[in-house]
Structure 1
Amino acid sequence: MSYKITPTDDLDACMAIRFTVFVDEQGVPAEIEHDDYDMVARHLLATKNGRPVGTARIVMQGSAGKIGRVAVLKEARGKGLGAALVRACEKEMKKLPEVKETILTAQTSALGFYEKLGYVAEGDEFEDAGIPHLLMRRPLR
């Protein structure tokens, strides 16, 4: 895989990917895709030959780091990039000794993907942007 994943301040590039995946493809309302967490989150950007193709963000919640907005452009899917983005988020969080676990809210259609990465679902299903989700956790340490 010839992708480069790095922390970034290029929120425009991250938002372009997120809008393509979540708004255009999945029908998430555009007005809720960008939120206040975007200003405090740590964003990661995946590129191939300098072109942005994937993104994710980390929002701190006490002793947990919440991974969210994991998005990969269609042309880069099925090549392990989504898993690499999640692992890159975990690597960033391991730099912070106060972070003990990672959490995320997964679309139910993606549960298997996250389970393969060691995440365990808990609680009841809920809707976010009209899409069913479940809370998932994984110890970081």
Structure 2
Amino acid sequence: MIEARYVFGKEALELCGSIRYEVFTEEQGVDVQHERDFYDHFAHHVVVMEGDIAVATGRLVFTNEIFLLGRIAVLKNHRGKNYGDLVVRMLIDRAFNIGAEEVEVHAQLSVQGFYESIGFIPIGEPFYEAGIEHIRMIIDQNSLQKSCQ
């Protein structure tokens, strides 16, 4: 059975942390100290479960007057099942429901097209974050593509 839900606190750190470690640290070589931060303690997290196994995650933080998506990750052998789309849409929905006019993501360039398919628009020039090239992207309720991938 597939289940997607919001998680917080210790549960979020345990379930989401293992996915993020595998994807960002082991697969992409991001330093574990950069991957985890104090935002994890108060972020809105989403986790997708296949039975008892956590397979996808992401988070939403509100910082500097910006609703920011981040740490979107799907385990390698579970990609292509639209879990990333589900995670992003749940986080966008949460942001709009708590007052966001727009939502931002710093997307890795390799997945810019994925975010564009949801309705995100690139802003500015690419930049490096954790040694990986990213692009700032935003979405508002009018830009959101209603159909899931």
**TM-score scaled by structure 2?**
0.88
Q: SS of 1:12's equivalent?
A: helix
Partner Cα separation in structure 2 for residue 119 and residue 95 of structure 1 = 18
User: Is the contact made by 1:17 and 1:72 (CA closer than 8 Å) also made in structure 2?
Assistant: yes
Give the equivalent residue in structure 2 for 1:140.
141
Aligned to 1:109: 110
Within 1, Cα distance between the matches of 2:139 and 2:83? 19
Q: CA deviation at 1:5?
A: 1.1
CA displacement at 1:37 relative to structure 2: 1.0
Matches of 2:31 and 2:120 in 1, distance apart? Answer: 27
Give a deviation string over 1:6-61, Cα, whole Å, max 9, x none. Answer: 11121111011000000000000111110111112111111011311111000013
C-alpha spacing 1:16/1:90, structure 2 compared with 1 (3 Å): same
Gaps of 5+ in 1: none
Does the CA-based 8 Å contact 1:99-1:140 persist in structure 2? no
Give distance in 2, aligned partners of 1:101 and 1:140.
7
Contact 2:96 2:102 in 1 (8 A): no
Please report how far the alpha carbon of residue 3 of structure 1 lies from its aligned counterpart in structure 2 after TM superposition.
2.6
Alignment correspondent of 2:147: none
Structure 2 unaligned residues grouped into runs of 5+: 143-149
- Tell me whether 1:7 sits opposite 2:9 in the alignment: no
SS at match of 2:93: helix
How far off is 1:63 after superposition? 5.4
Q: SS where residue 14 of structure 2 aligns? A: helix
Tell me what 1:100 maps to.
101
Give the ranges of 4+ consecutive aligned residues of structure 1 lying more than 3 Å apart after TM superposition: 61-64
- 8 Å CA contact retained: 1:127, 1:133: yes
Q: Aligned residue for 1:18?
A: 20
How many residues align? The count is: 139
Match of 1:34 in 2: 36
Structure 1 residues 125 and 42, CA gap change in structure 2 (3 angstroms): same
1:46 maps to 48
TM-superposed deviation, 1:95? 2.0
The one-letter code matched in structure 2 to 1:5 is A
| Aligned residues: CA RMSD | 1.4
Question: Structure 2 CA distance, aligned partners of 1:5 and 1:93?
Answer: 16
Q: Once the two structures are aligned, what percentage of the paired residues are identical?
A: 35
Once the two structures are overlaid, the 10-residue window that deviates more, 47-56 or 17-26, is 47-56
